[in-house]
Amino acid sequence: MGGRSSLPSANTLSVQVSVITTYAIIEIMKGNPAYARFRYAKIIITLFNLVELHYKLLRHFSKQLADQILHKYSDYVIETETIKEANEFKLQHKQKRLSVPHAISYITAQKYGIKFITGDKQFKAMTGVEFVR
């Protein structure tokens, strides 16, 4: 894999694991400086966000890129318990009109005790969220 040689070594990279939204991934790909620190971070992406990401890449970039990213991250599975908890969370916060993928991502981050990275203002003041715009 020749493309990996440009990555920093494990010794020079402080690894941070975060659950990340589709918006954040797109901003990283576009080179948004506000998201630069997440470029090489370990991330968790849910299946729902992967579906959304594939569609946005297909729509705004290319089929080749969309399919390449889908293939790279295609082994993600969500537990049914997480789906239940996310729907309950979405219902508790129905005034915020949260999307199902974002609710699932937030609950996943809470379960793992890691940050939820998003630019979605509905999550801005919530516990465990790093809001980046």
pLDDT of 33 > 70? The answer is yes
Say if CB 115 and CB 92 are below 8 A apart.
no
Pairing of strands 115-118, 42-44: unpaired
pLDDT band for position 48 (cuts 50, 70, 90)? confident
Average pLDDT over residues 101-118: 92
Domains and CATH numbers, the chain: 15-131 (3.40.50.1010)
pLDDT of 10 > 50? The answer is no
Q: What is the pLDDT of residue 92?
A: 97
Q: What is the pLDDT of residue 117?
A: 94
Comparison of pLDDT for 118 and 16, the residue scoring more: 118
Residue type, 59: R
Q: Terminal CA-to-CA distance of the chain, rounded, Å?
A: 32
Average pLDDT over residues 109-131: 93
Residue 18 contacts by C-beta under 8 Å, 6 or more apart in sequence?
A: 38, 41, 42, 43, 44, 109, 114, 115, 116, 117, 130
Q: What is the pLDDT of residue 89?
A: 97
